[in-house]
Chain A
Amino acid sequence: DAGITQSPRYKITETGRQVTLMCHQTWSHSYMFWYRQDLGHGLRLIYYSAAADITDKGEVPDGYVVSRSKTENFPLTLESATRSQTSVYFCASSESPGTLGLNTEAFFGQGTRLTVV
């Protein structure tokens, strides 16, 4: 199916464990993003990627690692999960804005609810 999918939808892990959240998009969009959303808060950008093998930090990158070996995948890894990383994680993708300032609507996945116990 076309679109952007995240897996798993729900995950419970223990403190100190490594966990990877997956994000896959079928549009070949250049840009991909990872956000976290905590209860009662807005979305905070963790990392983003402009293309395969190009990633950059967002607002709250500490404790997270990303990679983008293929355009369609953008996994997010919590190297050693902490309770403060309990959150809902959203992945998004968009086309490159290019030089004409064209509309770069971002499409979001359904989210992964991660609980660290």
Chain B
Amino acid sequence: LAKTTQPISMDSYEGQEVNITCSHNNIATNDYITWYQQFPSQGPRFIIQGYKTKVTNEVASLFIPADRKSSTLSLPRVSLSDTAVYYCLVGLYGGATNKLIFGTGTLLAVQP
């Protein structure tokens, strides 16, 4: 499974756009990129998933360059409630294994 590297923490202010980048240099051809969000004392929650280029949903956008060795989660106009840990996962989907391995994540702190 591809190993991921993310910043340990990031700070932002309300109303700003936040971009969290994840490096996954040895991503395999069949690997998808998935982001989860975790609030204190709760289980993680799926945010977005993509394979290449750009994916957007009502919560976030995911940008994946052509070489797929990194990806960027973009949160538009963050609020205090976006303070959480964000995990980038790279894993095999479409095969026999669905082993979800989480890294250490990025703690995003949004200030007023």
Residues of B contacting A58 with CB < 8 Å?
99, 101
Query: How many A-B Cβ pairs are below 8 Å?
Result: 72
Residue of A nearest to B93 (CB): A97
Pick from B41, B49, B51, B94: contact of A99, CB under 8 Å: B94
Residues of A contacting B32 with CB < 8 Å?
101
Q: Which of B25-63 contact A (CB under 8 A)?
A: 30, 32, 36, 41-46, 49, 51
Nearest Cβ on chain A to B40's Cβ, whole angstroms: 11
Contact with B along A79-117 (1 / 0, CB 8 A): 000000000001010101111111111111111000000
Pick from B85, B87, B93: contact of A102, CB under 8 Å: B93
Given A97-B94, A110-B43; A92-B87 close (CB under 8 Å) = no
Q: Which of B73-112 contact A (CB under 8 A)?
A: 85, 87, 92-105
Pick from A59, A92, A94: contact of B43, CB under 8 Å: A92
Nearest Cβ on chain B to A32's Cβ, whole angstroms: 10
Q: Does A22 contact B (CB under 8 A)?
A: no
Number of interface residues of A (CB under 8 A): 32
Number of interface residues of B (CB under 8 A): 27
Pick from B41, B97, B105: contact of A42, CB under 8 Å: B105
Pick from B45, B92, B98, B99: contact of A108, CB under 8 Å: B45
User: Using a CB–CB distance below 8 Å, which chain A residues touch chain B?
Assistant: 31, 33, 35, 41-45, 48, 50, 56, 58-59, 90, 92, 94, 96-111
Extra 5 A-B pairs, beta carbons < 8 Å, given A97-B95, A98-B94, A111-B43: A50-B97, A94-B98, A101-B30, A101-B51, A106-B46
User: Using a CB–CB distance below 8 Å, which chain B residues touch chain A?
Assistant: 30, 32, 36, 41-46, 49, 51, 85, 87, 92-105
8 smallest beta-carbon distances between A and B, as pairs: A108-B43, A101-B94, A105-B46, A97-B93, A43-B102, A42-B104, A101-B93, A90-B43
